[in-house]
Structure 1
Amino acid sequence: MTITPTDPRDRMIVALDVPGVAEAEKLVATLGDSATFYKIGYQLAYAGGLPMAHDLIRAGKKVFIDLKLHDIGNTVANGVAGIAKLGAAFLTVHAYPQTMKAAVEASRGSGLQILAVTVLTSYNNDDLKEAGYTLGVADMVAQRARQARAIGIDGIVCSAEESANLRAILGRDIALVTPGIRPAGSAVGDQKRVMTPARAIAAGSDYLVVGRPVVAAADPKAAAQAIVAEIAAAS
Protein backbone atom coordinates (compact mmCIF):
# COMPACT_ATOMS: atom_id res chain seq x y z
CA MET A 1 0.00 0.00 0.00
CA THR A 2 1.30 3.47 -0.91
CA ILE A 3 0.76 6.08 1.79
CA THR A 4 0.70 9.81 1.02
CA PRO A 5 3.74 11.44 2.72
CA THR A 6 3.02 13.58 5.77
CA ASP A 7 5.91 15.99 5.12
CA PRO A 8 4.83 18.35 2.29
CA ARG A 9 8.44 18.51 1.07
CA ASP A 10 8.26 14.78 0.26
CA ARG A 11 5.29 15.44 -2.02
CA MET A 12 7.26 17.79 -4.29
CA ILE A 13 9.61 15.99 -6.68
CA VAL A 14 12.09 18.37 -8.27
CA ALA A 15 12.95 17.35 -11.82
CA LEU A 16 16.70 17.66 -12.39
CA ASP A 17 16.18 18.56 -16.04
CA VAL A 18 19.60 20.14 -16.54
CA PRO A 19 22.42 19.48 -19.05
CA GLY A 20 24.83 17.69 -16.75
CA VAL A 21 25.89 16.51 -13.31
CA ALA A 22 27.65 19.75 -12.37
CA GLU A 23 24.46 21.75 -12.95
CA ALA A 24 22.40 19.17 -11.05
CA GLU A 25 24.75 19.20 -8.07
CA LYS A 26 24.68 22.99 -8.00
CA LEU A 27 20.86 23.01 -8.00
CA VAL A 28 20.68 20.41 -5.21
CA ALA A 29 23.11 22.46 -3.12
CA THR A 30 21.08 25.61 -3.77
CA LEU A 31 17.81 23.96 -2.73
CA GLY A 32 19.31 22.48 0.43
CA ASP A 33 16.66 21.18 2.83
CA SER A 34 13.83 22.85 0.90
CA ALA A 35 13.66 19.75 -1.33
CA THR A 36 13.87 16.09 -0.34
CA PHE A 37 12.87 14.26 -3.53
CA TYR A 38 14.52 14.47 -6.97
CA LYS A 39 13.77 13.10 -10.41
CA ILE A 40 16.49 12.02 -12.83
CA GLY A 41 15.13 11.78 -16.35
CA TYR A 42 16.51 11.26 -19.85
CA GLN A 43 18.48 14.48 -20.09
CA LEU A 44 20.55 13.98 -16.95
CA ALA A 45 20.67 10.17 -17.13
CA TYR A 46 22.22 10.31 -20.60
CA ALA A 47 24.71 12.92 -19.39
CA GLY A 48 26.18 10.64 -16.70
CA GLY A 49 23.57 11.37 -14.03
CA LEU A 50 22.54 7.89 -12.94
CA PRO A 51 25.51 7.43 -10.56
CA MET A 52 24.39 10.70 -8.93
CA ALA A 53 21.42 8.76 -7.54
CA HIS A 54 23.79 7.08 -5.06
CA ASP A 55 25.05 10.46 -3.83
CA LEU A 56 21.53 11.82 -3.39
CA ILE A 57 20.39 8.74 -1.49
CA ARG A 58 23.46 8.85 0.77
CA ALA A 59 22.59 12.48 1.49
CA GLY A 60 19.15 11.41 2.70
CA LYS A 61 17.23 12.33 -0.45
CA LYS A 62 14.72 10.20 -2.35
CA VAL A 63 15.24 9.55 -6.06
CA PHE A 64 12.78 8.99 -8.88
CA ILE A 65 14.33 7.51 -12.05
CA ASP A 66 12.16 8.61 -14.96
CA LEU A 67 13.19 6.50 -17.96
CA LYS A 68 9.73 5.43 -19.13
CA LEU A 69 10.87 1.92 -20.03
CA HIS A 70 9.04 0.12 -22.83
CA ASP A 71 10.46 -2.90 -24.63
CA ILE A 72 10.14 -6.67 -24.73
CA GLY A 73 9.58 -8.20 -21.31
CA ASN A 74 13.09 -9.57 -20.77
CA THR A 75 14.72 -6.26 -21.62
CA VAL A 76 12.37 -4.34 -19.32
CA ALA A 77 13.00 -6.81 -16.48
CA ASN A 78 16.77 -6.47 -16.81
CA GLY A 79 16.50 -2.69 -16.84
CA VAL A 80 14.33 -2.69 -13.73
CA ALA A 81 16.76 -4.99 -11.92
CA GLY A 82 19.60 -2.62 -12.69
CA ILE A 83 17.72 0.45 -11.45
CA ALA A 84 16.66 -1.38 -8.29
CA LYS A 85 20.34 -1.73 -7.34
CA LEU A 86 20.66 2.07 -7.27
CA GLY A 87 18.30 2.27 -4.31
CA ALA A 88 15.83 4.53 -6.11
CA ALA A 89 12.28 4.97 -4.80
CA PHE A 90 10.41 5.22 -8.12
CA LEU A 91 10.92 4.10 -11.72
CA THR A 92 8.61 4.81 -14.64
CA VAL A 93 7.48 2.44 -17.38
CA HIS A 94 4.93 3.01 -20.11
CA ALA A 95 1.51 1.61 -19.24
CA TYR A 96 1.40 -1.25 -21.72
CA PRO A 97 0.34 -4.52 -20.05
CA GLN A 98 3.37 -6.62 -21.05
CA THR A 99 5.75 -3.87 -19.99
CA MET A 100 4.02 -3.35 -16.65
CA LYS A 101 3.93 -7.08 -15.88
CA ALA A 102 7.65 -7.48 -16.57
CA ALA A 103 8.51 -4.44 -14.44
CA VAL A 104 6.36 -5.48 -11.46
CA GLU A 105 7.80 -9.00 -11.44
CA ALA A 106 11.39 -7.74 -11.68
CA SER A 107 10.92 -5.22 -8.86
CA ARG A 108 9.51 -7.64 -6.28
CA GLY A 109 11.42 -7.57 -3.00
CA SER A 110 13.62 -4.66 -4.03
CA GLY A 111 11.80 -1.70 -2.49
CA LEU A 112 11.64 -0.03 -5.91
CA GLN A 113 8.14 1.18 -6.75
CA ILE A 114 6.99 1.03 -10.37
CA LEU A 115 5.01 3.93 -11.80
CA ALA A 116 3.03 3.53 -15.01
CA VAL A 117 2.87 6.45 -17.44
CA THR A 118 -0.64 6.56 -18.87
CA VAL A 119 -0.72 9.45 -21.38
CA LEU A 120 2.00 12.09 -21.49
CA THR A 121 0.87 15.51 -20.25
CA SER A 122 2.03 17.07 -23.52
CA TYR A 123 -0.66 15.04 -25.37
CA ASN A 124 -4.28 15.95 -25.97
CA ASN A 125 -7.10 14.17 -27.81
CA ASP A 126 -5.88 15.35 -31.20
CA ASP A 127 -2.39 14.00 -30.51
CA LEU A 128 -3.78 10.56 -29.62
CA LYS A 129 -5.92 10.52 -32.76
CA GLU A 130 -2.92 11.46 -34.88
CA ALA A 131 -0.97 8.59 -33.29
CA GLY A 132 -3.66 6.12 -34.31
CA TYR A 133 -5.54 5.67 -31.03
CA THR A 134 -9.34 5.58 -31.03
CA LEU A 135 -9.73 6.56 -27.38
CA GLY A 136 -9.46 10.11 -26.08
CA VAL A 137 -7.17 11.10 -23.22
CA ALA A 138 -9.65 10.54 -20.39
CA ASP A 139 -10.75 7.10 -21.59
CA MET A 140 -7.19 6.01 -22.41
CA VAL A 141 -5.94 7.07 -18.98
CA ALA A 142 -8.80 5.27 -17.22
CA GLN A 143 -8.29 2.06 -19.22
CA ARG A 144 -4.56 1.96 -18.60
CA ALA A 145 -5.04 2.76 -14.91
CA ARG A 146 -7.42 -0.18 -14.47
CA GLN A 147 -4.93 -2.47 -16.21
CA ALA A 148 -2.13 -1.15 -14.00
CA ARG A 149 -4.13 -1.82 -10.84
CA ALA A 150 -4.87 -5.38 -11.92
CA ILE A 151 -1.17 -5.99 -12.64
CA GLY A 152 -0.01 -4.63 -9.29
CA ILE A 153 1.59 -1.32 -10.27
CA ASP A 154 2.52 0.93 -7.33
CA GLY A 155 1.60 4.24 -8.88
CA ILE A 156 0.22 6.06 -11.90
CA VAL A 157 1.74 9.06 -13.65
CA CYS A 158 -1.10 11.25 -14.87
CA SER A 159 -2.01 14.88 -15.26
CA ALA A 160 -3.86 16.51 -12.39
CA GLU A 161 -6.88 16.77 -14.67
CA GLU A 162 -7.25 12.99 -14.37
CA SER A 163 -6.41 12.69 -10.65
CA ALA A 164 -9.92 13.01 -9.25
CA ASN A 165 -11.37 10.46 -11.68
CA LEU A 166 -8.49 8.04 -11.13
CA ARG A 167 -8.72 8.32 -7.36
CA ALA A 168 -12.35 7.23 -7.63
CA ILE A 169 -11.35 4.31 -9.87
CA LEU A 170 -8.22 3.20 -8.00
CA GLY A 171 -8.92 4.02 -4.35
CA ARG A 172 -6.12 5.05 -1.97
CA ASP A 173 -3.72 2.14 -2.45
CA ILE A 174 -2.06 3.45 -5.64
CA ALA A 175 -0.03 6.65 -5.71
CA LEU A 176 -0.89 9.36 -8.22
CA VAL A 177 2.19 11.22 -9.45
CA THR A 178 1.49 14.40 -11.37
CA PRO A 179 3.81 16.25 -13.75
CA GLY A 180 2.74 19.40 -15.59
CA ILE A 181 2.57 21.42 -12.37
CA ARG A 182 2.58 25.16 -12.93
CA PRO A 183 2.18 27.68 -10.09
CA ALA A 184 -0.23 30.50 -10.91
CA GLY A 185 1.33 32.88 -13.41
CA SER A 186 3.95 30.38 -14.68
CA ALA A 187 4.46 29.72 -18.37
CA VAL A 188 2.80 26.52 -19.60
CA GLY A 189 5.61 25.76 -22.09
CA ASP A 190 5.09 22.54 -24.06
CA GLN A 191 2.58 21.10 -21.60
CA LYS A 192 -1.11 20.86 -22.56
CA ARG A 193 -2.68 19.50 -19.36
CA VAL A 194 -1.44 21.54 -16.40
CA MET A 195 -2.62 22.57 -12.93
CA THR A 196 -1.44 24.60 -9.94
CA PRO A 197 0.01 22.74 -6.92
CA ALA A 198 -2.99 23.47 -4.70
CA ARG A 199 -5.52 22.33 -7.28
CA ALA A 200 -3.52 19.17 -8.01
CA ILE A 201 -3.45 18.22 -4.32
CA ALA A 202 -7.17 18.93 -4.01
CA ALA A 203 -7.79 16.71 -7.05
CA GLY A 204 -6.12 13.77 -5.31
CA SER A 205 -2.48 13.81 -6.47
CA ASP A 206 0.01 12.39 -3.96
CA TYR A 207 3.24 13.66 -5.54
CA LEU A 208 3.85 16.70 -7.75
CA VAL A 209 6.71 16.70 -10.23
CA VAL A 210 8.04 20.24 -10.68
CA GLY A 211 10.71 21.10 -13.23
CA ARG A 212 11.00 24.48 -14.91
CA PRO A 213 9.09 26.48 -12.24
CA VAL A 214 11.98 25.62 -9.86
CA VAL A 215 14.92 24.84 -12.15
CA ALA A 216 14.50 27.98 -14.27
CA ALA A 217 13.49 30.30 -11.42
CA ALA A 218 15.61 33.32 -10.57
CA ASP A 219 15.62 32.03 -6.98
CA PRO A 220 15.10 28.24 -7.12
CA LYS A 221 15.04 27.82 -3.34
CA ALA A 222 12.36 30.47 -2.86
CA ALA A 223 10.34 28.93 -5.70
CA ALA A 224 10.58 25.47 -4.12
CA GLN A 225 9.61 26.79 -0.69
CA ALA A 226 6.58 28.56 -2.16
CA ILE A 227 5.39 25.33 -3.82
CA VAL A 228 5.89 23.33 -0.61
CA ALA A 229 3.91 25.96 1.31
CA GLU A 230 1.10 25.70 -1.24
CA ILE A 231 1.10 21.92 -0.91
CA ALA A 232 1.00 22.18 2.89
CA ALA A 233 -1.90 24.63 2.79
CA ALA A 234 -3.87 22.38 0.43
CA SER A 235 -3.18 19.11 2.27
Structure 2
Amino acid sequence: MGYLNYTRPHYEMYARLLETYADYQLCLVDEERGYPVAVANCVPLSCRGVEGLPPEGWDWVVETAATRGADEEADTLGALAISVPAIYREKGYARLMIRELLALAERKGLKGLVAPVRPSLKARHPFVAIEDYVTWTDDRGRPYDPWIRSHLASGGRLVGPCVRSMVVEEPVGFWENWTEQRFERSGSYEVAGGLVPLEIDLERQRGRYAEPNVWVAYTVGSA
Protein backbone atom coordinates (compact mmCIF):
# COMPACT_ATOMS: atom_id res chain seq x y z
CA MET A 1 0.00 0.00 0.00
CA GLY A 2 2.46 2.58 -1.22
CA TYR A 3 -0.20 5.27 -1.14
CA LEU A 4 0.16 5.35 2.66
CA ASN A 5 3.49 7.11 2.11
CA TYR A 6 1.46 10.15 1.07
CA THR A 7 -0.07 11.14 4.38
CA ARG A 8 1.20 14.66 5.05
CA PRO A 9 3.24 13.75 8.16
CA HIS A 10 4.77 10.81 6.30
CA TYR A 11 6.09 12.65 3.28
CA GLU A 12 6.98 15.85 5.16
CA MET A 13 8.47 14.49 8.39
CA TYR A 14 8.98 10.73 8.57
CA ALA A 15 12.38 10.24 6.91
CA ARG A 16 13.91 13.16 8.81
CA LEU A 17 12.42 11.89 12.05
CA LEU A 18 13.98 8.45 11.64
CA GLU A 19 17.35 10.08 11.01
CA THR A 20 16.99 12.32 14.06
CA TYR A 21 16.18 9.33 16.25
CA ALA A 22 18.38 6.76 14.56
CA ASP A 23 19.25 5.26 17.95
CA TYR A 24 15.57 4.39 18.45
CA GLN A 25 15.33 2.19 15.33
CA LEU A 26 15.69 -1.56 15.86
CA CYS A 27 16.70 -4.35 13.49
CA LEU A 28 16.82 -8.08 14.24
CA VAL A 29 19.37 -9.89 12.07
CA ASP A 30 19.79 -13.58 11.29
CA GLU A 31 23.52 -13.83 12.02
CA GLU A 32 24.01 -16.99 9.97
CA ARG A 33 22.60 -15.40 6.81
CA GLY A 34 23.35 -11.78 7.62
CA TYR A 35 19.76 -10.96 6.74
CA PRO A 36 17.33 -8.71 8.64
CA VAL A 37 14.33 -10.70 9.87
CA ALA A 38 12.47 -7.90 11.65
CA VAL A 39 12.54 -4.11 11.90
CA ALA A 40 10.86 -1.82 14.42
CA ASN A 41 10.53 1.95 14.03
CA CYS A 42 9.67 4.23 16.92
CA VAL A 43 10.16 7.77 18.23
CA PRO A 44 10.07 9.49 21.62
CA LEU A 45 7.21 11.88 22.30
CA SER A 46 5.34 13.71 25.03
CA CYS A 47 1.99 12.08 25.80
CA ARG A 48 -0.48 13.51 28.30
CA GLY A 49 -2.06 10.23 29.31
CA VAL A 50 -3.30 7.40 27.13
CA GLU A 51 -6.98 8.10 27.68
CA GLY A 52 -6.60 11.30 25.68
CA LEU A 53 -4.96 9.70 22.66
CA PRO A 54 -6.43 11.32 19.53
CA PRO A 55 -8.20 9.81 16.52
CA GLU A 56 -5.29 10.76 14.24
CA GLY A 57 -3.13 7.85 15.42
CA TRP A 58 -0.03 7.20 13.30
CA ASP A 59 -0.01 10.66 11.74
CA TRP A 60 -0.28 12.19 15.22
CA VAL A 61 2.69 10.19 16.56
CA VAL A 62 4.89 11.38 13.69
CA GLU A 63 3.79 15.01 13.87
CA THR A 64 3.96 15.17 17.67
CA ALA A 65 7.47 13.73 17.75
CA ALA A 66 8.64 15.95 14.89
CA THR A 67 7.34 19.18 16.44
CA ARG A 68 8.31 18.52 20.06
CA GLY A 69 10.01 21.58 21.47
CA ALA A 70 13.45 21.51 23.06
CA ASP A 71 11.89 22.32 26.44
CA GLU A 72 9.24 19.59 26.15
CA GLU A 73 10.48 16.38 27.73
CA ALA A 74 9.61 13.07 26.10
CA ASP A 75 7.92 10.58 28.40
CA THR A 76 6.56 7.94 26.02
CA LEU A 77 7.76 5.80 23.14
CA GLY A 78 5.57 5.97 20.05
CA ALA A 79 5.71 2.80 17.94
CA LEU A 80 5.30 3.39 14.21
CA ALA A 81 5.98 0.04 12.57
CA ILE A 82 7.07 -3.53 13.13
CA SER A 83 7.94 -5.22 9.85
CA VAL A 84 8.76 -8.89 9.29
CA PRO A 85 9.43 -10.31 5.78
CA ALA A 86 6.85 -12.89 4.75
CA ILE A 87 9.30 -15.81 4.83
CA TYR A 88 10.12 -15.06 8.49
CA ARG A 89 6.59 -14.68 9.80
CA GLU A 90 4.95 -17.07 12.27
CA LYS A 91 8.28 -17.41 14.10
CA GLY A 92 7.57 -15.08 17.00
CA TYR A 93 9.78 -12.25 15.71
CA ALA A 94 7.02 -9.64 15.86
CA ARG A 95 6.37 -10.33 19.54
CA LEU A 96 10.10 -10.29 20.17
CA MET A 97 10.25 -6.80 18.65
CA ILE A 98 7.42 -5.67 20.95
CA ARG A 99 9.52 -6.79 23.91
CA GLU A 100 12.55 -5.00 22.48
CA LEU A 101 10.55 -1.79 22.09
CA LEU A 102 9.55 -1.98 25.74
CA ALA A 103 13.16 -2.64 26.73
CA LEU A 104 14.23 0.37 24.67
CA ALA A 105 11.64 2.56 26.39
CA GLU A 106 12.98 1.45 29.76
CA ARG A 107 16.59 2.15 28.75
CA LYS A 108 15.60 5.63 27.60
CA GLY A 109 13.81 6.36 30.87
CA LEU A 110 10.35 6.55 29.29
CA LYS A 111 7.25 5.56 31.24
CA GLY A 112 5.38 3.71 28.53
CA LEU A 113 4.72 2.81 24.92
CA VAL A 114 1.78 3.70 22.69
CA ALA A 115 1.14 2.10 19.32
CA PRO A 116 -1.43 2.85 16.60
CA VAL A 117 -1.81 -0.79 15.63
CA ARG A 118 -2.80 -1.71 12.07
CA PRO A 119 -5.11 -4.74 12.39
CA SER A 120 -3.72 -7.45 10.14
CA LEU A 121 -7.05 -8.93 8.99
CA LYS A 122 -9.12 -5.75 8.75
CA ALA A 123 -8.49 -5.55 4.99
CA ARG A 124 -10.71 -8.62 4.62
CA HIS A 125 -13.59 -6.60 6.08
CA PRO A 126 -13.25 -3.06 4.67
CA PHE A 127 -16.91 -2.16 5.13
CA VAL A 128 -17.02 -3.15 8.82
CA ALA A 129 -16.62 -0.21 11.21
CA ILE A 130 -13.40 -0.39 13.22
CA GLU A 131 -15.46 0.11 16.39
CA ASP A 132 -17.26 -3.15 15.63
CA TYR A 133 -14.20 -4.99 14.34
CA VAL A 134 -12.27 -4.58 17.59
CA THR A 135 -15.07 -6.31 19.51
CA TRP A 136 -14.85 -9.51 17.45
CA THR A 137 -13.48 -12.60 19.17
CA ASP A 138 -12.38 -16.05 18.03
CA ASP A 139 -13.79 -19.36 19.29
CA ARG A 140 -11.51 -19.13 22.33
CA GLY A 141 -12.75 -15.71 23.33
CA ARG A 142 -9.58 -13.95 22.24
CA PRO A 143 -9.49 -10.90 19.96
CA TYR A 144 -10.26 -12.00 16.41
CA ASP A 145 -7.41 -10.03 14.88
CA PRO A 146 -4.04 -11.80 15.34
CA TRP A 147 -1.96 -8.62 15.50
CA ILE A 148 -4.21 -7.07 18.14
CA ARG A 149 -4.12 -10.43 19.93
CA SER A 150 -0.30 -10.43 19.87
CA HIS A 151 -0.16 -6.98 21.42
CA LEU A 152 -2.57 -7.84 24.21
CA ALA A 153 -0.75 -11.12 24.89
CA SER A 154 2.46 -9.08 25.18
CA GLY A 155 1.01 -6.93 27.95
CA GLY A 156 -0.65 -4.17 25.95
CA ARG A 157 -4.00 -2.62 26.78
CA LEU A 158 -6.56 -1.82 24.12
CA VAL A 159 -7.38 1.87 24.48
CA GLY A 160 -9.69 2.23 21.48
CA PRO A 161 -9.82 3.00 17.77
CA CYS A 162 -7.96 5.87 16.13
CA VAL A 163 -10.30 6.33 13.20
CA ARG A 164 -8.12 8.77 11.21
CA SER A 165 -4.75 7.20 11.87
CA MET A 166 -3.39 7.69 8.35
CA VAL A 167 -5.17 10.08 5.99
CA VAL A 168 -4.32 10.45 2.31
CA GLU A 169 -6.29 12.98 0.26
CA GLU A 170 -5.18 13.40 -3.33
CA PRO A 171 -6.59 14.12 -6.83
CA VAL A 172 -8.65 11.38 -8.45
CA GLY A 173 -5.85 10.81 -10.99
CA PHE A 174 -3.48 9.90 -8.17
CA TRP A 175 -5.86 7.18 -7.02
CA GLU A 176 -6.49 5.92 -10.53
CA ASN A 177 -2.74 5.46 -10.97
CA TRP A 178 -2.34 3.62 -7.68
CA THR A 179 -5.39 1.39 -7.99
CA GLU A 180 -5.23 0.88 -11.77
CA GLN A 181 -8.95 1.46 -12.02
CA ARG A 182 -11.14 4.21 -13.42
CA PHE A 183 -13.55 6.09 -11.15
CA GLU A 184 -16.55 7.20 -13.18
CA ARG A 185 -18.85 8.14 -10.29
CA SER A 186 -18.55 9.38 -6.75
CA GLY A 187 -18.78 6.80 -4.00
CA SER A 188 -16.97 4.26 -1.85
CA TYR A 189 -14.50 1.92 -3.51
CA GLU A 190 -12.68 -1.08 -2.13
CA VAL A 191 -8.93 -0.88 -2.76
CA ALA A 192 -6.34 -3.65 -2.49
CA GLY A 193 -4.97 -3.82 1.04
CA GLY A 194 -7.19 -1.01 2.28
CA LEU A 195 -8.72 -1.32 5.72
CA VAL A 196 -11.63 0.89 4.69
CA PRO A 197 -13.05 2.01 1.34
CA LEU A 198 -11.58 4.87 -0.65
CA GLU A 199 -14.04 7.78 -0.88
CA ILE A 200 -14.17 9.39 -4.33
CA ASP A 201 -15.74 12.82 -4.89
CA LEU A 202 -15.80 13.57 -8.61
CA GLU A 203 -17.31 17.02 -8.11
CA ARG A 204 -14.20 18.04 -6.18
CA GLN A 205 -11.97 15.68 -8.19
CA ARG A 206 -10.57 14.34 -4.94
CA GLY A 207 -10.20 10.95 -3.32
CA ARG A 208 -9.78 10.42 0.42
CA TYR A 209 -8.56 7.36 2.26
CA ALA A 210 -8.79 7.60 6.06
CA GLU A 211 -7.32 4.47 7.59
CA PRO A 212 -8.39 3.45 11.09
CA ASN A 213 -5.96 1.81 13.48
CA VAL A 214 -6.28 0.78 17.11
CA TRP A 215 -4.50 2.43 20.02
CA VAL A 216 -2.65 -0.02 22.27
CA ALA A 217 -0.78 1.21 25.35
CA TYR A 218 1.89 -0.42 27.48
CA THR A 219 3.40 0.45 30.82
CA VAL A 220 7.15 -0.06 30.81
CA GLY A 221 7.93 -3.39 32.46
CA SER A 222 4.54 -4.90 31.54
CA ALA A 223 5.82 -7.49 29.05
TM-score (norm 2): 0.32
Q: Which has the higher strand share?
A: 2
In our comparison, the structure showing a higher alpha carbon Rg is 2
